[in-house]
A and B are shown apart, each in its own frame.
Chain A
Amino acid sequence: MSTILPRLGALGAAIALGLAAALGAGPALADITVDVNQAAVQPLPIAIAPFGGEAQGAQISAVVSADLERSGLFRPLEPATFRQRPDVGVVPSFDAWKAIAAQALLVGNVATGADGRLSVDFRLWDVYAGDQLVGTRLTATPDSWRTIAHQIADAVYKKLTGETGYFDTRVVFVAESGPKTKKVTRLVVMDQDGANPYYLPTDPTAMVFAPRFSTRRQEITYMALRPTGASIYLKNLDTGREEVLGRFPNMTMAMAPRFSPDDSKVAFAAEEHGATNIYVMNLANQSLKRLTDGLAVDTSPSFSPDGGQIVFNSDRGGTPELYVMNADGSGVHRISFGAGRYTAPVWSPDSKLIAFVKQQGQSFSVGVMAPDGSGERVLTTSYFADEPTWAPNGRVIMFERKMGDGASRLWTVDVTGHIQREAPYPVSGSDPAWSPLLH
């Protein structure tokens, strides 16, 4: 789907030392870089010229601009201030972009091929160095123009931050409606920027919770709650086909499902006679293995990215804390020791951190700690927070927040805690799960 465009001419490789110093950049991947680990990031001024060619051009560049802006790492400049309308096939006049203090410039063009597919050429320029940083052609069907836009945003993000992007992703979550005492829940899938939301049909007699994406398949797992019990389902997003995950005659409640990183298993919690324990089901042969034992609450299992360990929530010590065990149930050890009640742990995709919710007094925080429990940091605190979920690059966490007005909303916070945004979804949402990168 993508081809690398040839570099335009031999531009001087002058390094904008002053610029890099001003940005406090670490090892430079490009002459201009955004340091995502800096305490308070100064967003990088970037000019995103409205893409030329077909009508979708301006729409595509607008989506790229919105993605980059929402990350908090970029400051797209107002197109009305642009002094030229650059052609993707021509080297830009960099002085015109320096004049508006743009440090990076994105230009693009959209054409329709003989086969009816959109063909999008784009180039990312380092304005001060006069260097082409990216030059790529993407093709797709016309109705996939937003996907192309997210992929371009991912390419820009990757080139300028050195980190993999997360814009070509989706989120599955629970849309809540009705009064609190008679809440109706439905599953919704949307693009990470809130576009293309659609309901996933589920049994209307059940309340549905805890939707989670599989890593590689177009599939989710979720929990359906009925007066007769709680069950875990697998649902294919392409075909809509779904199946109940096993039959557990003695378990009233099966809950908190999550795929293993290789999608071969689902870990979940099941309740029997008041005790909740963690199980893993092998999806190929439906074999079930019990990983924890005892009368305590053990729930919310989440695999490490290598599949070797599981972090979970347990109140075996009297209050809810975080524990890590090997994927076979051995080696259980507690990792949370601070004040407050720790729940909802989720291992980051880059394996370096565990996100969690911490309840202290009348406030709820989303925080992170290393898998050995060290380096605990609170990222954000509010009246209520729950269900953190990681963007696939491990830089951003989406979570459910209540500000006190009773309605749950989806928010994002980056791992520095400095960049917080309400997710662009118009109505009440909870229980989000971020997909892996789609392409």
Chain B
Amino acid sequence: MRLGFKTLGDIAVAAMAGAALTACASHPPPPPAAPIGPPPHEGGPPPSSGYEGGPPGAVSRGPLPGTEQDFVINIGDRVYFDFDAATIREDAGPILSAQAGWLSHYPDVRVRIEGNCDERGTREYNFALGARRADAVRDFLVAHGIAAGRITTISYGKEQPIDPGQDEAAWAKNRNAHTAIVQGAR
């Protein structure tokens, strides 16, 4: 498939479940994200900010710390935006703080922030809007101590939705910035 998104569907499923878990732990729910399939993770609630290692508890199952799965499931790799907005929402702050904490813990990791939009806009405007969203997340991570050189951004506009639906629930999911690990995960 194009753009190297072979696992986009899988990641999206995990991300939605991960976001839901994270949401339950500490902050308002993300956009109406009906869980898709069973949660892939049975450990305790993930840290909502900072990162101190793997899931707590003497015996637990889950992704190995420092892996891409760890990031996606325990931190959350996607934050959501309001219509035609690129402002970091209140519910996105803790997730991005956790991303910054995790990235500080694993300094070899490099990420690409991918800005996305819903389909209720024209193509060329949405490319620019998605870029603005990606840049807002980049700025957040840099402000929280992540070296700018570890981050690249891209906008997919409305061309890579994670939910093919044609309703507000789908559009809310598709207005997002995805933090993709491109290098350095364990």
Contacts and interface: CB of A to CB of B under 8 A. Distances in A.
A229 B130 CA distance: 13
B123 A431 contact: yes
Contacts of B135: 273-274
A178 B163 CA distance: 14
Interface residue SS majority, chain B = mixed
Given A252-B153, A269-B128, A274-B131, A387 B3 contact: no
Contact of A313 (B8, B124, B152, B163): B124
B102 interface: no
19 contacts: A182-B5, A184-B1, A185-B159, A205-B4, A210-B124, A225-B3, A227-B3, A227-B114, A227-B154, A227-B180, A255-B124, A271-B127, A274-B136, A276-B128, A276-B132, A299-B125, A341-B84, A362-B120, A387-B123
Contact of A207 (B3, B9, B136): B3
Interface string B99-136: 00000000000001010000111111101110110111
Interface size class for chain B?
A: 35 or more
Interface residue SS majority, chain A = strand
Contacts, number: 130
B51 to A, nearest CB: 25
Nearest to A386: B122
A297 B123 CA distance: 13
Contacts of B182: 227
A253 B114 CA distance: 12
Contact of A228 (B5, B119, B154, B159): B154
A384 B1 contact: no
Interface in A162-203: 178-185
Q: Give the 7 A-B residue pairs with the shortest CB-CB distance, closest first.
A: A274-B135, A276-B128, A180-B164, A297-B128, A343-B122, A271-B131, A274-B132
A181 B125 contact: no
Contacts of A297: 125, 128-129, 132
A182 B8 contact: yes
